Protein backbone atom coordinates (compact mmCIF):
# COMPACT_ATOMS: atom_id res chain seq x y z
CA UNK A 1 0.00 0.00 0.00
CA UNK A 2 1.30 3.51 -0.76
CA UNK A 3 2.48 5.40 2.31
CA UNK A 4 0.94 8.80 3.20
CA UNK A 5 3.52 11.59 3.66
CA UNK A 6 3.49 14.36 6.27
CA UNK A 7 1.54 16.68 3.96
CA UNK A 8 -1.16 14.05 3.40
CA UNK A 9 -0.10 13.10 -0.13
CA UNK A 10 0.32 9.44 -0.96
CA UNK A 11 3.88 8.34 -1.66
CA UNK A 12 4.52 5.23 -3.75
CA UNK A 13 6.67 2.55 -2.10
CA UNK A 14 10.45 2.84 -2.44
CA UNK A 15 10.71 -0.90 -3.15
CA UNK A 16 7.91 -3.17 -4.31
CA UNK A 17 8.19 -6.79 -5.45
CA UNK A 18 5.42 -9.20 -6.36
CA UNK A 19 5.58 -12.90 -7.27
CA UNK A 20 9.37 -12.81 -7.46
CA UNK A 21 11.09 -16.10 -8.36
CA UNK A 22 14.72 -16.89 -9.09
CA UNK A 23 15.53 -20.37 -10.34
CA UNK A 24 18.98 -21.70 -11.19
CA UNK A 25 19.60 -24.71 -13.45
CA UNK A 26 22.43 -27.03 -12.49
CA UNK A 27 23.84 -30.03 -14.36
CA UNK A 28 25.60 -33.13 -13.07
CA UNK A 29 28.18 -32.84 -15.86
CA UNK A 30 28.94 -30.28 -18.62
CA UNK A 31 27.98 -32.76 -21.34
CA UNK A 32 24.36 -32.70 -20.12
CA UNK A 33 24.00 -29.11 -21.36
CA UNK A 34 24.79 -30.28 -24.89
CA UNK A 35 22.63 -33.41 -24.66
CA UNK A 36 19.68 -31.27 -23.60
CA UNK A 37 19.86 -29.35 -26.88
CA UNK A 38 20.03 -32.34 -29.16
CA UNK A 39 16.86 -32.57 -31.36
CA UNK A 40 16.31 -36.28 -30.64
CA UNK A 41 15.86 -35.61 -26.91
CA UNK A 42 12.55 -33.88 -27.76
CA UNK A 43 12.84 -31.20 -25.10
CA UNK A 44 13.95 -33.55 -22.30
CA UNK A 45 15.71 -31.63 -19.54
CA UNK A 46 18.85 -32.88 -17.85
CA UNK A 47 18.96 -29.93 -15.45
CA UNK A 48 18.20 -29.86 -11.76
CA UNK A 49 16.28 -26.74 -10.75
CA UNK A 50 17.18 -24.86 -7.58
CA UNK A 51 14.67 -22.23 -6.46
CA UNK A 52 16.73 -19.53 -4.72
CA UNK A 53 13.61 -17.33 -4.33
CA UNK A 54 9.99 -18.45 -4.37
CA UNK A 55 7.02 -16.10 -4.73
CA UNK A 56 8.54 -13.12 -2.88
CA UNK A 57 6.20 -10.18 -2.29
CA UNK A 58 7.38 -7.12 -0.33
CA UNK A 59 6.50 -3.45 -0.03
CA UNK A 60 8.93 -1.03 1.62
CA UNK A 61 7.83 2.53 2.26
CA UNK A 62 10.14 5.53 1.70
CA UNK A 63 12.28 6.16 4.77
CA UNK A 64 11.84 2.66 6.18
CA UNK A 65 14.83 0.64 7.35
CA UNK A 66 14.16 -3.05 6.68
CA UNK A 67 16.39 -5.91 7.82
CA UNK A 68 16.93 -9.25 6.12
CA UNK A 69 17.79 -12.39 8.10
CA UNK A 70 17.98 -16.09 7.37
CA UNK A 71 20.41 -18.98 7.23
CA UNK A 72 23.05 -19.55 4.58
CA UNK A 73 21.37 -20.36 1.27
CA UNK A 74 18.06 -18.80 2.30
CA UNK A 75 18.13 -16.42 -0.70
CA UNK A 76 19.17 -13.17 1.01
CA UNK A 77 22.01 -12.23 -1.33
CA UNK A 78 19.98 -13.30 -4.36
CA UNK A 79 17.16 -10.94 -3.38
CA UNK A 80 19.58 -8.05 -2.86
CA UNK A 81 21.27 -8.70 -6.20
CA UNK A 82 17.90 -8.60 -7.97
CA UNK A 83 16.92 -5.34 -6.28
CA UNK A 84 20.25 -3.76 -7.27
CA UNK A 85 20.01 -5.01 -10.87
CA UNK A 86 23.03 -7.31 -10.61
CA UNK A 87 20.89 -10.29 -11.62
CA UNK A 88 17.35 -10.73 -12.92
CA UNK A 89 14.36 -12.70 -11.63
CA UNK A 90 13.15 -15.82 -13.43
CA UNK A 91 9.61 -14.52 -13.17
CA UNK A 92 7.67 -11.89 -11.27
CA UNK A 93 8.27 -8.16 -11.16
CA UNK A 94 9.73 -5.50 -8.92
CA UNK A 95 10.05 -1.71 -8.78
CA UNK A 96 12.78 0.35 -7.12
CA UNK A 97 12.10 4.11 -6.99
CA UNK A 98 15.05 6.46 -6.52
CA UNK A 99 18.80 6.25 -6.80
CA UNK A 100 20.44 3.21 -5.19
CA UNK A 101 23.81 2.68 -3.50
CA UNK A 102 24.59 -1.00 -2.93
CA UNK A 103 27.21 -2.22 -0.46
CA UNK A 104 27.29 -5.88 -1.41
CA UNK A 105 30.87 -6.94 -2.09
CA UNK A 106 33.24 -4.10 -1.26
CA UNK A 107 35.92 -3.81 -3.91
CA UNK A 108 34.13 -6.01 -6.44
CA UNK A 109 34.99 -4.81 -9.95
CA UNK A 110 38.32 -3.24 -9.00
CA UNK A 111 41.18 -3.88 -11.44
CA UNK A 112 44.29 -5.21 -9.68
CA UNK A 113 46.86 -3.58 -11.97
CA UNK A 114 45.20 -0.15 -11.98
CA UNK A 115 45.81 2.48 -9.30
CA UNK A 116 43.36 3.31 -6.55
CA UNK A 117 42.68 6.63 -8.28
CA UNK A 118 41.81 4.94 -11.60
CA UNK A 119 39.64 2.39 -9.83
CA UNK A 120 37.63 5.12 -8.12
CA UNK A 121 36.61 6.53 -11.51
CA UNK A 122 36.00 3.07 -13.05
CA UNK A 123 33.94 1.88 -10.07
CA UNK A 124 31.90 5.09 -9.99
CA UNK A 125 31.21 4.72 -13.73
CA UNK A 126 29.97 1.17 -13.14
CA UNK A 127 27.53 2.65 -10.60
CA UNK A 128 26.20 5.02 -13.25
CA UNK A 129 27.97 8.20 -12.17
CA UNK A 130 29.54 10.54 -14.70
CA UNK A 131 33.18 11.65 -14.58
CA UNK A 132 32.38 15.23 -13.55
CA UNK A 133 30.40 14.07 -10.52
CA UNK A 134 33.22 11.72 -9.50
CA UNK A 135 35.79 14.53 -9.82
CA UNK A 136 33.68 16.72 -7.52
CA UNK A 137 33.46 13.95 -4.92
CA UNK A 138 37.03 12.64 -5.32
CA UNK A 139 38.41 14.49 -2.28
CA UNK A 140 35.46 13.31 -0.16
CA UNK A 141 36.12 9.71 -1.24
CA UNK A 142 39.85 10.02 -0.56
CA UNK A 143 39.38 11.63 2.86
CA UNK A 144 36.90 8.97 3.95
CA UNK A 145 39.16 6.12 2.81
CA UNK A 146 42.27 7.70 4.41
CA UNK A 147 44.39 6.21 1.61
CA UNK A 148 46.10 9.44 0.53
CA UNK A 149 49.63 8.05 0.29
CA UNK A 150 48.51 4.86 -1.48
CA UNK A 151 45.96 6.26 -3.94
CA UNK A 152 48.34 6.14 -6.93
CA UNK A 153 49.61 2.64 -6.15
CA UNK A 154 48.11 -0.41 -7.96
CA UNK A 155 45.27 -2.17 -6.16
CA UNK A 156 47.28 -5.42 -6.11
CA UNK A 157 49.54 -3.84 -3.47
CA UNK A 158 46.57 -3.07 -1.18
CA UNK A 159 45.58 -5.22 1.78
CA UNK A 160 42.02 -6.56 1.86
CA UNK A 161 41.17 -3.93 4.49
CA UNK A 162 42.43 -1.13 2.25
CA UNK A 163 40.37 -2.44 -0.66
CA UNK A 164 37.30 -2.53 1.61
CA UNK A 165 37.94 1.07 2.68
CA UNK A 166 38.13 2.24 -0.93
CA UNK A 167 35.05 0.26 -1.99
CA UNK A 168 32.92 1.60 0.87
CA UNK A 169 34.11 5.17 0.29
CA UNK A 170 33.13 5.07 -3.40
CA UNK A 171 29.76 3.47 -2.66
CA UNK A 172 28.62 6.03 -0.06
CA UNK A 173 30.03 9.12 -1.77
CA UNK A 174 26.77 9.64 -3.66
CA UNK A 175 23.61 10.77 -1.92
CA UNK A 176 21.33 7.80 -2.71
CA UNK A 177 17.63 7.56 -1.96
CA UNK A 178 18.03 3.86 -1.13
CA UNK A 179 20.97 2.18 0.60
CA UNK A 180 21.27 -1.62 0.28
CA UNK A 181 23.78 -3.23 2.63
CA UNK A 182 24.95 -6.84 2.77
CA UNK A 183 27.17 -7.87 5.72
CA UNK A 184 29.67 -5.04 5.43
CA UNK A 185 29.92 -4.24 9.17
CA UNK A 186 32.15 -7.28 9.76
CA UNK A 187 35.00 -6.19 7.45
CA UNK A 188 38.04 -4.01 8.03
CA UNK A 189 39.63 -2.89 11.28
CA UNK A 190 37.81 -1.38 14.26
CA UNK A 191 38.37 2.21 13.14
CA UNK A 192 36.96 1.51 9.66
CA UNK A 193 33.94 -0.42 11.01
CA UNK A 194 33.18 2.52 13.26
CA UNK A 195 33.20 4.88 10.26
CA UNK A 196 30.86 2.47 8.45
CA UNK A 197 28.44 2.51 11.39
CA UNK A 198 28.53 6.32 11.65
CA UNK A 199 27.85 6.69 7.93
CA UNK A 200 24.99 4.19 7.99
CA UNK A 201 23.43 5.86 11.02
CA UNK A 202 23.70 9.28 9.32
CA UNK A 203 21.79 7.86 6.32
CA UNK A 204 19.15 6.54 8.71
CA UNK A 205 18.84 9.92 10.48
CA UNK A 206 18.34 11.61 7.08
CA UNK A 207 15.30 9.39 6.46
CA UNK A 208 16.87 7.34 3.68
CA UNK A 209 15.31 4.02 2.75
CA UNK A 210 17.61 1.19 3.85
CA UNK A 211 17.73 -2.55 3.21
CA UNK A 212 20.13 -4.16 5.70
CA UNK A 213 21.20 -7.82 5.55
CA UNK A 214 23.21 -9.27 8.43
CA UNK A 215 23.73 -12.39 10.54
CA UNK A 216 24.09 -10.15 13.60
CA UNK A 217 20.60 -10.08 15.11
CA UNK A 218 21.72 -7.38 17.53
CA UNK A 219 22.74 -5.05 14.67
CA UNK A 220 19.51 -5.80 12.80
CA UNK A 221 17.38 -5.06 15.86
CA UNK A 222 19.24 -1.81 16.59
CA UNK A 223 19.22 -0.42 13.04
CA UNK A 224 15.99 -1.69 11.47
CA UNK A 225 12.28 -0.90 11.88
CA UNK A 226 10.98 -4.08 10.24
CA UNK A 227 12.65 -7.37 9.32
CA UNK A 228 12.12 -10.04 6.67
CA UNK A 229 13.00 -13.61 7.62
CA UNK A 230 13.81 -15.70 4.55
CA UNK A 231 13.77 -19.49 4.79
CA UNK A 232 14.51 -21.72 1.79
CA UNK A 233 13.75 -18.88 -0.60
CA UNK A 234 10.37 -17.98 0.92
CA UNK A 235 9.31 -15.25 3.34
CA UNK A 236 8.81 -16.97 6.68
CA UNK A 237 7.90 -13.76 8.54
CA UNK A 238 7.78 -10.01 7.81
CA UNK A 239 7.08 -7.94 10.91
CA UNK A 240 8.64 -5.47 13.35
CA UNK A 241 12.33 -5.98 14.17
CA UNK A 242 11.86 -7.25 17.73
CA UNK A 243 9.22 -9.83 16.78
CA UNK A 244 11.15 -11.28 13.84
CA UNK A 245 14.56 -11.42 15.52
CA UNK A 246 13.01 -13.14 18.54
CA UNK A 247 11.25 -15.70 16.33
CA UNK A 248 14.36 -16.29 14.24
CA UNK A 249 16.59 -16.68 17.32
CA UNK A 250 14.11 -19.19 18.77
CA UNK A 251 14.14 -21.16 15.52
CA UNK A 252 17.95 -21.19 15.42
CA UNK A 253 18.09 -22.39 19.04
CA UNK A 254 15.69 -25.21 18.21
CA UNK A 255 17.90 -26.30 15.31
CA UNK A 256 20.94 -26.28 17.60
CA UNK A 257 19.09 -28.30 20.22
CA UNK A 258 18.05 -30.88 17.63
CA UNK A 259 21.69 -31.29 16.63
CA UNK A 260 22.57 -31.78 20.31
CA UNK A 261 25.22 -29.07 20.10
CA UNK A 262 26.27 -27.06 23.11
CA UNK A 263 26.51 -23.41 22.13
CA UNK A 264 28.71 -21.01 24.05
CA UNK A 265 28.33 -18.02 21.74
CA UNK A 266 26.25 -15.08 22.95
CA UNK A 267 23.59 -13.95 20.42
CA UNK A 268 24.00 -10.26 21.08
CA UNK A 269 27.75 -10.39 20.36
CA UNK A 270 27.93 -12.53 17.26
CA UNK A 271 30.13 -10.17 15.25
CA UNK A 272 33.91 -10.61 15.40
CA UNK A 273 35.57 -8.05 17.68
CA UNK A 274 39.12 -7.01 16.90
CA UNK A 275 40.83 -5.44 19.92
CA UNK A 276 43.12 -2.56 19.04
CA UNK A 277 45.76 -1.00 21.25
CA UNK A 278 44.21 -0.38 24.65
CA UNK A 279 45.04 3.31 24.82
CA UNK A 280 43.43 4.10 21.44
CA UNK A 281 39.86 2.91 22.01
CA UNK A 282 37.31 2.82 24.78
CA UNK A 283 37.63 -0.32 26.90
CA UNK A 284 36.40 -2.13 30.00
CA UNK A 285 39.13 -2.23 32.64
CA UNK A 286 37.30 -4.68 34.90
CA UNK A 287 33.81 -5.90 35.77
CA UNK A 288 32.66 -7.48 39.02
CA UNK A 289 29.48 -8.70 40.66
CA UNK A 290 29.00 -6.94 44.00
CA UNK A 291 26.58 -6.59 46.89
CA UNK A 292 24.77 -3.27 46.19
CA UNK A 293 24.40 -2.55 49.92
CA UNK A 294 28.04 -2.98 50.93
CA UNK A 295 29.84 -2.61 47.60
CA UNK A 296 31.84 -5.74 48.41
CA UNK A 297 32.50 -8.55 45.95
CA UNK A 298 29.76 -11.17 46.10
CA UNK A 299 28.35 -13.52 43.47
CA UNK A 300 25.94 -15.82 45.36
CA UNK A 301 22.38 -14.59 45.77
CA UNK A 302 18.90 -15.90 46.40
CA UNK A 303 15.89 -14.99 44.24
CA UNK A 304 14.45 -11.66 45.38
CA UNK A 305 17.74 -10.32 46.79
CA UNK A 306 19.35 -7.19 45.30
CA UNK A 307 22.51 -7.64 43.22
CA UNK A 308 24.77 -5.36 41.19
CA UNK A 309 27.38 -5.47 38.43
CA UNK A 310 30.10 -2.80 38.66
CA UNK A 311 32.04 -1.93 35.48
CA UNK A 312 35.19 0.23 35.36
CA UNK A 313 35.49 1.98 31.97
CA UNK A 314 38.23 4.05 30.32
CA UNK A 315 37.56 6.10 27.22
CA UNK A 316 40.06 6.18 24.35
CA UNK A 317 42.24 8.91 22.89
CA UNK A 318 39.34 9.78 20.61
CA UNK A 319 36.70 10.69 23.16
CA UNK A 320 33.45 8.79 22.55
CA UNK A 321 29.96 8.94 23.92
CA UNK A 322 29.40 5.38 25.05
CA UNK A 323 26.75 2.83 25.94
CA UNK A 324 27.07 -0.26 28.10
CA UNK A 325 25.20 -3.56 27.86
CA UNK A 326 25.29 -6.25 30.54
CA UNK A 327 23.83 -9.70 29.97
CA UNK A 328 23.06 -12.79 31.98
CA UNK A 329 23.61 -16.04 30.10
CA UNK A 330 22.93 -19.65 31.05
CA UNK A 331 25.61 -22.31 30.56
CA UNK A 332 23.84 -23.53 27.38
CA UNK A 333 24.24 -20.09 25.75
CA UNK A 334 20.67 -18.83 26.36
CA UNK A 335 20.73 -15.08 26.91
CA UNK A 336 18.20 -14.52 29.72
CA UNK A 337 18.19 -10.72 29.56
CA UNK A 338 20.59 -7.89 28.68
CA UNK A 339 19.75 -4.31 29.70
CA UNK A 340 21.65 -1.46 28.03
CA UNK A 341 22.21 2.15 29.01
CA UNK A 342 21.37 3.21 25.45
CA UNK A 343 17.88 1.65 25.58
CA UNK A 344 17.28 2.98 29.10
CA UNK A 345 18.37 6.52 28.18
CA UNK A 346 21.40 6.66 30.50
CA UNK A 347 24.27 8.62 28.84
CA UNK A 348 27.93 7.71 29.40
CA UNK A 349 30.24 10.62 28.62
CA UNK A 350 33.50 10.64 30.61
CA UNK A 351 37.21 9.92 30.23
CA UNK A 352 37.17 7.34 33.00
CA UNK A 353 34.47 6.17 35.37
CA UNK A 354 32.46 3.36 36.91
CA UNK A 355 28.99 2.30 35.78
CA UNK A 356 26.95 0.09 38.08
CA UNK A 357 23.86 -1.89 37.11
CA UNK A 358 21.70 -2.63 40.15
CA UNK A 359 18.98 -5.27 40.12
CA UNK A 360 16.63 -4.43 43.03
CA UNK A 361 15.44 -8.04 43.01
CA UNK A 362 17.13 -10.97 41.31
CA UNK A 363 14.33 -12.57 39.29
CA UNK A 364 16.35 -15.60 38.20
CA UNK A 365 15.88 -18.95 39.90
CA UNK A 366 18.58 -21.53 40.61
CA UNK A 367 21.53 -21.66 38.25
CA UNK A 368 24.95 -20.30 37.36
CA UNK A 369 25.00 -17.44 34.86
CA UNK A 370 27.87 -15.94 32.87
CA UNK A 371 27.76 -12.12 32.87
CA UNK A 372 28.95 -10.74 29.49
CA UNK A 373 29.72 -7.03 29.23
CA UNK A 374 29.69 -5.03 25.97
CA UNK A 375 31.06 -1.50 25.61
CA UNK A 376 29.26 0.15 22.68
CA UNK A 377 29.02 3.45 20.87
CA UNK A 378 26.20 5.87 21.70
CA UNK A 379 23.96 4.24 19.06
CA UNK A 380 24.40 0.85 20.74
CA UNK A 381 25.70 -0.68 17.47
CA UNK A 382 29.50 -0.57 17.28
CA UNK A 383 31.29 -2.75 19.87
CA UNK A 384 34.52 -1.27 21.24
CA UNK A 385 35.19 -4.00 23.78
CA UNK A 386 33.59 -7.27 24.83
CA UNK A 387 34.43 -9.16 27.99
CA UNK A 388 32.80 -10.96 30.93
CA UNK A 389 32.55 -10.17 34.62
CA UNK A 390 35.31 -11.79 36.65
CA UNK A 391 32.71 -13.88 38.49
CA UNK A 392 29.68 -15.88 37.40
CA UNK A 393 26.36 -15.05 39.05
CA UNK A 394 25.21 -17.99 41.16
CA UNK A 395 21.55 -18.02 42.19
CA UNK A 396 20.52 -20.47 44.89
CA UNK A 397 16.79 -20.98 45.21
CA UNK A 398 15.68 -22.34 48.57
CA UNK A 399 12.00 -22.60 47.66
CA UNK A 400 10.08 -25.04 45.47
CA UNK A 401 9.66 -22.54 42.63
CA UNK A 402 10.27 -24.08 39.20
CA UNK A 403 11.60 -22.66 35.94
CA UNK A 404 14.07 -19.91 35.02
CA UNK A 405 12.48 -16.73 36.39
CA UNK A 406 10.79 -15.66 39.59
CA UNK A 407 7.73 -13.68 38.50
CA UNK A 408 5.13 -11.63 40.32
CA UNK A 409 1.65 -13.11 39.98
CA UNK A 410 -1.89 -12.98 41.24
CA UNK A 411 -4.40 -15.83 41.52
CA UNK A 412 -8.16 -15.50 41.34
CA UNK A 413 -10.65 -18.30 41.98
CA UNK A 414 -14.26 -18.03 40.75
CA UNK A 415 -16.71 -20.70 41.87
CA UNK A 416 -19.22 -21.81 39.23
CA UNK A 417 -20.46 -24.98 40.95
CA UNK A 418 -19.47 -25.39 44.62
CA UNK A 419 -17.91 -28.65 45.74
CA UNK A 420 -19.68 -31.21 47.95
CA UNK A 421 -18.12 -29.92 51.17
CA UNK A 422 -19.27 -26.35 50.45
CA UNK A 423 -22.81 -27.51 49.62
CA UNK A 424 -23.03 -29.58 52.82
CA UNK A 425 -21.82 -26.73 54.99
CA UNK A 426 -24.16 -24.16 53.46
CA UNK A 427 -27.30 -23.22 55.52
CA UNK A 428 -30.71 -24.29 54.25
CA UNK A 429 -33.10 -21.42 53.59
CA UNK A 430 -36.16 -20.78 51.49
CA UNK A 431 -34.11 -21.22 48.37
CA UNK A 432 -33.13 -24.77 49.30
CA UNK A 433 -29.62 -26.15 50.01
CA UNK A 434 -26.82 -23.75 49.17
CA UNK A 435 -29.11 -20.72 48.87
CA UNK A 436 -27.85 -17.41 50.21
CA UNK A 437 -29.36 -16.12 53.43
CA UNK A 438 -30.06 -12.45 54.11
Domain CATH number, residue 318? 2.70.50.60
Instruction: Give the domain range for residue 333.
Output: 276-395
Domain boundary among 359, 377, 395: 395
Judge if 241 and 331 occupy the same domain.
no
Q: Say yes or no to pLDDT of 151 above 90.
A: yes
Domain count, the chain: 2
Residue 211 lies in a domain: yes
Residue 108 included in any domain: yes
- Asked if residue 290 and residue 248 are part of one domain, the reply reads no
For residue 416, tell me if it sits in a domain.
no
| Residue 30 confidence (pLDDT) | 81
Across 347-367, average pLDDT: 93
In this prediction, residue 262 carries a pLDDT of: 42
CA proximity to 363, closest of 331, 391, 326, 404: 404
Q: Does 301 lie in the same domain as 238? A: no
* Residue 194 and residue 319 share a domain: no
Q: What is the pLDDT of residue 1?
A: 53
Question: Which positions ≥6 away from 437 have C-beta within 8 Å?
Answer: 427, 429
Backbone phi, then psi, for 154, in 5-degree steps? Answer: -65, 145
- Write out pLDDT tens, residues 118-150: 989 988 887 777 888 888 889 999 998 889 999
Based on the domain organization, do 176 and 67 belong to the same domain?
yes
If one compares 427 and 306, the residue with the highest pLDDT of the two is 306
- 68 plus 170 within the same structural domain: yes
**Position 19 in a domain:** no
Task: Report if pTM > 0.75.
Answer: no
Stretch 37-61: mean pLDDT: 84
In 150-282, which ranges are E strands? 178-182, 209-213, 226-231, 234-240
Mean confidence (pLDDT) of the chain: 83
CB 300 within 8 A of CB 394: yes
Q: How far apart are CA 159 and CA 156, in angstroms?
A: 8
Answer yes or no: is 123 within a domain. Answer: yes
On the question of pLDDT at 438 being above 50, the answer is no
Residue 5 has pLDDT above 90, yes or no: no
Same domain, 175 and 211: yes
| 212 falls within a domain | yes
- Buried b vs exposed e over 284-300: b needs ≥16 C-beta within 10 Å? beebbbbebeeeeebbe
Nearest to 158 by CA among 123, 107, 102: 107
Give tens-digit pLDDT for 217-238: 878 888 888 999 999 999 999 9
261 has a pLDDT exceeding 50: no
Question: Does the residue 58 lie in any domain?
Answer: no
Amino acid sequence: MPEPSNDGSVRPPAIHAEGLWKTYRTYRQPLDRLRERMPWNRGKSFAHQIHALQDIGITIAPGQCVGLVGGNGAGKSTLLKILTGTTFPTRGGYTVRGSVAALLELGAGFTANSSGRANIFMNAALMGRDERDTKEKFKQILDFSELHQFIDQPIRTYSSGMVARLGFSVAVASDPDILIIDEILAVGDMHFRRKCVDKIMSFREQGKTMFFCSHSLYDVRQICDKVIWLKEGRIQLFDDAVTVTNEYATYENQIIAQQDARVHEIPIADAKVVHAKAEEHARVVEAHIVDPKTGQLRNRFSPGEPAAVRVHIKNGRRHEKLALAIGFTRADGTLCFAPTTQMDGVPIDFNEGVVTLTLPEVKLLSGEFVVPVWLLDAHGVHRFHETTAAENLIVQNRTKELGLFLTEREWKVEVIVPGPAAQKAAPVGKGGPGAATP
